[in-house]
Structure 1
C-alpha cells in the first residue's frame, strides 16, 4: 500500500505535518467504523480495513524514519527484516565512542551532565543525518537509495542510543 497515495500527498520525504494531520482527520472521519454501524457486514469489514490502513499510514508518514523506509520500500528496497550491518568504518568507530561515553558516564563526577552532553551531541548529529537522508531521497536511483538505506541504519542506531540515554537519565534521576 502506498500511504502517500492514500493521503493524496506527493511521494517526498519532506511533508507539511499540519497538512498531514488534517488529511488524517478527514480520512479517519470518513472511514471510521461507527459510520457504518447500520451497513452490511461486508461494508463494516471494509470500513475496519480502511480505517486500519489510514491509521497505519498516518503512523508511518508522521515519523521521518518510517516515512523514509516506506519511500525505499515503494522503490523496491525493503529494510524491514534485513540483517545487513553498516559498512561505514568511521560511523562504526563513532558508535563505539558513543557507547563508551554512555558506559563511562556513571563513573564521572557529574554523570547527568555527561549524559546531557552526549544527548546533545547525538541530537545534533541526528539532525545532520536527517538532512543527508532528505537530500538522498530526492533522487530515486539505485545508488541514492542504497546510500539512503545506510543513513536509515545510522539513524536507527542513533535513536536507539538516545532512548538508552533517556532510560539512564530517568534511572539516575530516581536515584538522586
Structure 2
C-alpha cells in the first residue's frame, strides 16, 4: 500500500504539522494538477528531478515523491495526492492509515460499545438539534475538546504500538484499544460536520432575519 506520510513528506506519527501538510499539497498540486501545463503526460522522473533541483526549498524526500508520481498520468497523480492529503488531514482516517501501515486491519461496521460515550453523544445530538446562535458556539468548543482528548488518547496508544516489536504491536489489548478510539474519532468527525452545517444554517437564518428589518 502507498505510505501517505512518505508521499506527503511528513513524519509517520499521529501528531503532524497540518501547515506542513498543506504546503506539500500545494507543491505537489502545482506539478500534477490536470489543468496545469507543467504536468505533462510525457514528464518522466529524470525531467522532474532536473526541474526540482532548481528549487532550494524542495528537499530530497519530496523530490522522491514527485519522481514516483511522474510515472503516472496527471489525473492519476492528482487523485492520489488528494486522497493522501484528505487521509492525513482528518484525525480518524490518519489514525486508520497508521494502523494499516502496521498491518492492523479494522472493521468499519463494528458498533461502538462504550455506553457512556453513546449517552454523551445522544445528549450532544439533542443539544445540537435545539441549538441557537449562542449555544452552537459552546457546542462547537465542547466537541473540539472532545476530539482533542481522543486524539491524545490514540497518540498514546499508537506510540506503544510503534515502539513495540511485531508480536507486541499486534497484541489484542492494544489493537482493540486503538480501534475503539478510531471508531469514536470517526463518530466525532461526522458530528463535527453536522455542527458546521448547523452553524451555517443558523448564520443564514440570522442573515435572513436581518434582511427582513430593511424590507
TM-score by length of 1: 0.75
Inter-partner Cα distance in structure 1 for 2:105 and 2:125:
28
Match of 2:52 in 1: none
Correspondences of 1:90-129 after superposition (within 5 Å): 90-103=116-129, 105=130, 111-129=132-150
Inter-partner Cα distance in structure 2 for 1:57 and 1:17:
13
Q: CA 1:77 to 1:29, structure 2 compared with 1: closer, same or farther past 3 Å?
A: same
How many residues get paired? 168
SS at match of 1:52: helix
1:13 and 2:14 matched: yes
SS at match of 1:85: coil
Inter-partner Cα distance in structure 1 for 2:193 and 2:31:
36
Larger helix share, 1 or 2: 1
Q: CA 1:39 to 1:148, structure 2 compared with 1: closer, same or farther past 3 Å?
A: same
Inter-partner Cα distance in structure 2 for 1:72 and 1:3:
13
Pick aligned residue for 1:84 from 89, 94, 110: 110
Show structure 2 runs of 5+ residues with no match.
Answer: 44-68, 162-168, 210-215
Inter-partner Cα distance in structure 1 for 2:26 and 2:193:
29
Q: CA 1:167 to 1:5, structure 2 compared with 1: closer, same or farther past 3 Å?
A: closer
Instruction: Give the C-alpha shift of residue 120 in structure 1.
Output: 2.0
TM-score by length of 2: 0.64
Provide the aligned C-alpha RMSD in A: 3.0
Query: Which structure has the greater CA radius of gyration?
Result: 2
Show structure 1 runs of 5+ residues with no match.
Answer: none
1:159 and 2:186 matched: no
Inter-partner Cα distance in structure 2 for 1:119 and 1:38:
45
Would you say the 8 A contact 1:137–1:145 is kept in 2? no
Inter-partner Cα distance in structure 2 for 1:51 and 1:74:
22
Instruction: Give the C-alpha shift of residue 45 in structure 1.
Output: 7.0
